Structure 1
């Protein structure tokens, strides 16, 4: 485990020269994304952050931006409205960013929630949580890879469940559309595993970019209340039991932000970034150079050697091909 004291020491070295100068935060209007933005801005570094969120989030986001400007007047926060569950909207947002920026240093993806209710689809025919936690994230990466490639130390972080993937998924029904295949736990495991399988392929194809799939552990973000059917009695019982446990035993907002900022900037992951004298992380291929790092809540890395070899053999190519077909109209 990387201690909180070590993380704070590393983050204290972030300055104008070492900070990700241009960042895109998708899901940064609340929860872990918001905590990480605040940690980055609080370093005092000169940064520009694209804060992507829904129209309904604009008012609280504007108040958050004012708070950030008071903390660090050198930080520029660019509010970027869009419904990122829709893949056409993801494409539109990325085109706006690419027109404005010749490089992006950090892409930080946190939008989504566990789909514990009944299956709900977007107007594009994709299950909402799967679009947020998987398809839209991969589409953001594909569109922004050209400007990420222009950075000296580009990094992509998908916050979901790195290290928790299973050795196989339902390759015959990757979108869990068939009757009886969809349930909250099954869907969440499927989306986590698809993230890792696809990100690893992207990492191999783009060796100059560091990819991280992280599992944040328990953080009180409010997401435990999302994804349920309206008025669900089970949901109310679930909230009543789980929310106090997360609040009292999980990471504080500040520590969560600092730990995620460490993942955004430390050379512990891939050898580029803030110098790190501690144990180097190993990627999913059990190497210490750039690639895909599966990072747990305590900022340790795992190659998940029990599941990954089987996943590569049985499912990875099918996940890749299926995802490419679904995203193709939006590329």
Structure 2
């Protein structure tokens, strides 16, 4: 485990000025916790944060200015369950910026049914929308100076069974839903890393954090799960401060370097911290899966290797691109 003291010490040494960051799904939950802590540590950051609620965004902007009055905070209102909306939000950012340093994605909610674009709601937001956003913003990330990183907060380390013939998970057995989603995300990030080895990618599992993952619109069938989670993890919740600091650490620490490019390592390592193994088991290979204590999840290496050996990285992106073309024309 990476101690919280080491995490905070690393974050406090973030000395790269004028970082440009994009936080998706940041008006509540883990995204907002991380955004506030990142803003507190950063020097004159420019931060785009995406979400649905203008009211929440206004409140968050006030908090951000209290944390760091020298930062610039730009809200992009978007319903990220729509691939078309994801493209539009990314286009707004591309019109304003030539480069980006950090993309953190935490959008998602447990909601039954399908979107207007014909995708299961959960995977539309948490998988397909995220990978589409990372794909769209990759050219800007490749141009970032001093730091180039993508962090997806979801289910790193929970990889397992993958349904290659059903990437959107329309018919996936619910018992394997998380494994399928986690594997799709990690292999999807590996595909992006092949295109941009100078960018690093982190897929994290946040652990039991009290968020609004299950909302009123999730439906009556899912609401009992909210109370089940609260009871099950009543003695082990990870608080907003710790999850915010740990995910800021994932955004900035040199523990997670790109495969290529010594100019984008982030905050230098100190003490016992060292460059960690990537999702392929190779130290510093550019794509990393970590748990709620910022430790690498080596338990997933074998299952990922099995799928990688049969060309699953390309097949995942073929499945994604098929859906993107269907939706976008």
Using structure 1 for the length normalisation, give the TM-score.
Answer: 0.89
**1:42 aligns to what SS in structure 2?**
helix
Pairwise CA distance, 1:128: 1.1
Contact 1:39 1:261 in 2 (8 A): yes
Correspondence list, 1:1-331, <5 A:
1-15=1-15, 18=16, 21-43=19-41, 45-54=43-52, 57-115=53-111, 117=112, 120-152=113-145, 153-166=147-160, 168-178=161-171, 181-183=172-174, 185-225=175-215, 228-230=218-220, 232=221, 235-236=223-224, 238-270=225-257, 272-277=265-270, 278-303=273-298, 304-314=300-310, 315-328=312-325, 330=328
Describe the shift of the 1:247–1:265 C-alpha distance in structure 2 as closer, same or farther (beyond 3 A).
farther
Partners in 1 of 2:18 and 2:228 — Cα distance?
Answer: 39
**Relative to structure 2, which stretch is displaced further, 203-212 or 216-225?**
216-225
**Relative to structure 2, which stretch is displaced further, 309-318 or 156-165?**
309-318
Contact 2:124 2:168 in 1 (8 A): no
Contact 1:268 1:276 in 2 (8 A): yes
Partners in 1 of 2:321 and 2:168 — Cα distance?
Answer: 14
Q: Which 5+ residue runs of structure 2 have no aligned equivalent?
A: none
Partners in 2 of 1:266 and 1:22 — Cα distance?
Answer: 16
**1:208 aligns to what SS in structure 2?**
coil
Pairwise CA distance, 1:129: 1.0
**Deviation digits for residues 55-104 of structure 1 (CA, Å, limit 9, x no counterpart):** xx111210111121122111111010111111111111111101100111
**Deviation digits for residues 148-177 of structure 1 (CA, Å, limit 9, x no counterpart):** 1111221001110111110x3222333333
Pairwise CA distance, 1:190: 1.7
Using structure 2 for the length normalisation, give the TM-score.
Answer: 0.90
**1:307 aligns to what SS in structure 2?**
helix
Partners in 1 of 2:196 and 2:241 — Cα distance?
Answer: 32
Contact 1:114 1:227 in 2 (8 A): no
Q: Which 5+ residue runs of structure 1 have no aligned equivalent?
A: none
**2:297 aligns to what SS in structure 1?**
coil
Partners in 2 of 1:244 and 1:20 — Cα distance?
Answer: 43
Contact 1:208 1:290 in 2 (8 A): no
**Relative to structure 2, which stretch is displaced further, 267-276 or 154-163?**
267-276
Describe the shift of the 1:20–1:196 C-alpha distance in structure 2 as closer, same or farther (beyond 3 A).
farther
Pairwise CA distance, 1:44: 5.3
Partners in 2 of 1:19 and 1:113 — Cα distance?
Answer: 33
Pairwise CA distance, 1:20: 6.7
Describe the shift of the 1:218–1:61 C-alpha distance in structure 2 as closer, same or farther (beyond 3 A).
same
Pairwise CA distance, 1:200: 1.0
Partners in 1 of 2:319 and 2:43 — Cα distance?
Answer: 41
Partners in 1 of 2:197 and 2:289 — Cα distance?
Answer: 16
Partners in 2 of 1:24 and 1:262 — Cα distance?
Answer: 16
Pairwise CA distance, 1:121: 1.2
**Relative to structure 2, which stretch is displaced further, 248-257 or 284-293?**
284-293
**Relative to structure 2, which stretch is displaced further, 21-30 or 264-273?**
264-273
